[in-house]
Structure 1
Amino acid sequence: MDQTAPLFDDVRDAVRARICTRPFEAEPGRFVRCQSRRTAVCPSCASLYRGDWQRIARSGIYDADGHPLVGYRYFFITLSAPSFGSIHLAPKWERDAGRRCKCGQTHGHEDEKLRGMPIDLDAYDYEGQIRWHGALSRLWRSSVEAMRRRCPDAEYFAVREVQARMALHVHAVVRVPASTSVDAESMGRAARAATATHPVTDEVVEWGQYGMQDREIRPRLVGSEDVMPDMSRAAARIISYVGKALGYSLKDVTPGVRDGEATLERIEFVKRLRRAARLHVLCPDCPMGRPGDCPRRAHENLGYGGHVVTVSRTTARREGWSLSHLTRTRLREERKAWMEANQPEGRRGGLSDADVKLAFWLAEQSARHAWEVWQNRNHARAP
């Protein structure tokens, strides 16, 4: 047996370690997942994280049989960051093609590496962008309150996504009762008009007024008249988008692109943002006003220390987003129980290399089939 390979107490630990690329040894002989959210660090844990949130997103739109929930309307609302300096207009959509950039040129799709880049690196407000990120959680709560003043029963599933200019924006799916008189435009305006104060400087922060996208996900008939109303096409696109947004990280130099493909100008731009977050912008917990000594993750995450996803929770007065009451904690517990019930029995010691390889293959084949059966039976995928 290869003496350089890690030693495990039994087949179960070996299989678990192979699924996660960098398992953590919680105690001697017991390994747990690293739980990284970045695909570049651990594809398995990142995929699991995205899958959990996609299931929670679906549970607020579909019932357990995969049918759209009856009695609700859905709005897709986008909230963007304000401007912190002029950036290059490199067209991503056809509607932007041919528009003149503030740099004086007209960029084409071949100039995509300029997308989100400041026209003047020295004039960009790096600290302003980092401070805005530090107040984003407060600003979103203010927007939720504003929307609920218009519709008290509104529930939401919201994802923060990093733009090419490394500023966050929020995509929210808002669910309201079908009988309500509000529409996507009025809810979007209410959310966008909200303001908040920075937790350290007390400066007023607000949303940007560009890049808005407020629309209703409307039920639509498919096939013939005897087919029930189906919003799966529109809703499935939103759920797919959630997965894409979760795949990005504020640590990436260019969202969705390998860091090695970034230009020198892009690297310098992100380096200045990180320097501002690490050394120049205070968070509420900075010791003696020294951000460089603060352990909070906001200083390593471009000023934002909150969650990538937030959903409205079930309370005594509210249904919450997930009508089946799914949470990541519940999903982890269900997954742990399933694994305990379906993993092959381990054997202590005496494992040959062939034993381990065979256990890997058998466990993966069995797990893949059983998981698909269990998932389809309990929480149907969006069609």
Structure 2
Amino acid sequence: MNTRANAITALAERASAGDFGAWYRSIVRLGGCTNPVHLVGNASLVDATTGEVLHSFATDERGGRLLTACGNRRATVCPTCAALYRADTYQLIRAGLVGGKETPATVGGHPRVFVTLTAPGFGAVHTRRERSGRLQPCHARRTQKHCAHGVPIGCRVRHAEDDKRLGEALCPHCYDYAGAVLWQAHAGQLWHRFALELRREIARRAGLTRTELGGRLRVSYAKVAEYQRRGLIHFHAVIRLDGPEGSESSPPGWATTQFLADAVHHASSLVRLRAPGGDIIGPRVLRFGSQVDVRPIAEFGTGERLPSAAVAAYIAKYATKGAEAAGAVDARIHRAADLATLPVREHTLRMIGTCWWLGALPQFEPLRLRQWAHMLGYGGHFSTKSRRYSTTLTALRTARAEHLAQQQRTVLGLADRPTVTVSHWRFAGRGYAPDEALIAAGVRAAKTEVPAPRTGAQEVRA
């Protein structure tokens, strides 16, 4: 009997049991999470004044385990939990653009730009080019020349969106895979240096020292990392100028949007970082690519081409993505033998192999390249923000938990009583039984039938 038939049989047996309703609701409330966490323990709702136990819950009374959502941010791992993470990120980004979530609405009038910082080139790759709305050849050359390895250095193909060659190196032997992996490993440090250099550049342009600048202006930002098809990341960020107290205060009059845009352009060109190389691959000086995109964000309600909601939706979309855009794998690689069976394209496999090779050399050991080989060398955070940009993910999750707790107290008739929750839980496993997985799949299918609201994220690419 196949797995689906076993699940249907188990579900039928479960339906005949007396606790089917409670069991069914315990699965549905997870919203279709693909890999729930099993907890064992108990919780009690206690009157904060008298210490009286008003309500209690123990897993040994409810089937032995409590299932809770996994909370994974990766859409390829759990689409349900990733959707919630994406929604939280959207609220976080948007609050820093138009206010809300304890951020004043006056931030909508502060200078703000949407910035994209890219990786430099490490060799020619197949790409999709458009000019004036017309598709152009990948790498047009008047004469068909060849590299030292006998591979044509040009490509006159007009690649379709789904062309599997996109992101592949024209000549793998010419492509600097070692440099690309080292850039990935240091990308987080490059961003940190850019943030410092931006503050220095703003101070220089304003004729102030950095200490004096801190008393007049604060730079706030929120960013995400996105993988390109060639396997390298680039950063999308909202950068905002505030007064010295953060979002609650306005920046000085000379700090305009154009002032900020010019400072970002120049600061990004100054960032340099020397990476270890030694006698193995030679010295490397890392920097951002020359393609730096800086666009002003429209003030709230002005109806301009790049509205705040579109920027927030665009950034939030990439908060739940990983290296799958480059064709990489979700799980860490533990053995060299696994490289031979990875279901990845040639370019991605070469980057993973380079991580594995460099990761074994003493000078690269601090970079933990083997640990991050499945991420093509990038081990940094995918979503970060400065302290004063807006609210935090923790605050959003706490507010949601308090709302759900208040709903529970209302159902129990305890809404007006001061209560505290005392609980003890321990991890007991992951995943679904076959009949549980069938219910969860139905919940996910029902969600996909509901069309998602339009957010305007595509306007960012226009």
Q: Could you state the TM-score of these two structures normalised by the residue count of structure 1?
A: 0.71
Tell me which of 39, 64, 71 is aligned to 2:100: 64
CA distance in 2, matches of 1:85, 1:332: 43
Q: Does 1:204 align with 2:285?
A: yes
* Contact preservation (8 Å) 1:131, 1:281: no
Partner of 2:311: 238
Q: Is the 8 A contact 1:200 1:282 kept in 2?
A: no
Counterparts of 1:170-185 in structure 2, within 5 Å, are 170-176=235-241, 177=251, 179=253, 180-181=255-256, 182-185=259-262
Distance 1:284 1:132, change over 3 A: farther
SS class of match (1:110)? coil
Alpha-carbon distance between aligned partners in 2 of 1:74 and 1:119, rounded to the nearest angstrom: 39
Tell me the amino acid that sits aligned with residue 323 of structure 2: L
Q: Which residue of 2 aligns with 1:87?
A: 125
Q: Provide the residue aligned with 1:377 in structure 2.
A: none
Tell me by how many angstroms 1:117 deviates.
Answer: 2.0
1:30 to 40, 58, 66: 66
* Counterpart check, 1:104 vs 2:177: no
In the TM superposition, residue 212 of structure 1 has moved relative to its aligned partner by: 1.9
Superposition RMSD in Å: 4.1
Aligned to 1:38, what secondary structure does the other structure show?
A: coil
Of 131-140 and 107-116, more deviation after overlay is shown by 107-116
SS at structure 2 position matched to 1:60? helix
Stretch moving more, 50-59 or 199-208: 199-208
TM-superposed CA distance for 1:92, in Å, is 4.9
Q: Which has the larger radius of gyration?
A: 2
Pick the aligned partner of 1:321 from 376, 389, 402: 389
Supply the distance in 2 between the matched residues of 1:304 and 1:128 (Cα, whole angstroms): 13
Provide, for residues 303-337 of structure 1, a one-character-per-residue CA deviation record: whole Å limited to 9, x for no partner: 11111111111xxxxxx111xxx211112222222
Correspondences of 1:281-292 after superposition (within 5 Å): 281=359
Equivalent-residue separation in structure 2 for 1:183 and 1:107 (angstroms):
39
Does the alignment pair 1:335 with 2:400? Answer: yes
Q: 1:31 to 1:265 in 2, by over 3 A?
A: closer
Q: Secondary structure at the match of 1:138?
A: helix
Do the aligned partners of 1:200 and 1:283 also contact (CA within 8 Å) in 2? no
Q: Among residues 279, 290, 294, which one is paired with 1:214 in the alignment? A: 294
Instruction: Compute the TM-score of the two structures, normalised by the length of structure 2.
Output: 0.60
d(CA) in 2 for partners of 1:134, 1:77: 21
Q: 1:340 to 1:138 in 2, by over 3 A?
A: same
- Deviation of residue 10 (structure 1)? 5.5
For the pair 1:280 / 2:358, whether they are aligned, the reply is yes
CA distance in 2, matches of 1:59, 1:71: 13
Q: Aligned partner of 1:141: which letter?
A: H
* Counterpart in the other structure of 1:130: 181
Paired position in structure 2 for 1:48: 84
The percent of aligned pairs where both chains have the same amino acid is 26
Offset of residue 286 of structure 1: 7.5
CA contact (8 A) 1:16 1:31 kept: no
Please report how far the alpha carbon of residue 22 of structure 1 lies from its aligned counterpart in structure 2 after TM superposition: 1.2
| 8 Å CA contact retained: 2:194, 2:267 | yes
- Give CA-to-partner distance per residue, 1:148-196, whole Å, 9 cap, x none: 1233511111111111111101111110136215231332221232122
Q: Is the 8 A contact 1:200 1:284 kept in 2?
A: no
**1:253 deviation in Å?**
4.0
Question: Per-residue CA shift, 1:14-49, capped at 9, x if unaligned?
Answer: 334453121011335122322222323211111111
Partner residue in 2 for 1:350: none
Matched residue type, 2:389: W
Could you tell me which of 108, 119, 122 is aligned with 2:170?
Answer: 119
Q: Decide whether aligned partners of structure 1 residues 20 and 98 sit closer, same or farther in structure 2, where only a CA change above 3 A counts.
A: closer
Number of aligned residue pairs: give it.
Answer: 326
For the residue of structure 2 that corresponds to 1:76, the secondary structure is: strand
Question: Which of 268, 271, 278 matches 2:349?
Answer: 271
Equivalent residue letter for 1:22: N
Looking at structure 1, the residues matched to 395 and 361 of structure 2 have their Cα atoms a distance apart, in angstroms, of 32
Q: Which amino acid aligns with 2:136?
A: G
The equivalent residue for 2:234 is 169
Distance in 1 (alpha carbons) for counterparts of 2:136 and 2:343: 24
Offset at residue 266 of structure 1 (A): 7.1
Which structure's residues are more often strand, by fraction? 2
Q: Structure 1 pair 216/233, CA: closer, same or farther in 2 (3 Å)?
A: closer
Q: Offset of 1:285 from its aligned partner?
A: 11
Kept in 2, the 8 Å contact 1:157–1:174? The answer is yes
| Partner Cα separation in structure 2 for residue 168 and residue 131 of structure 1 | 12
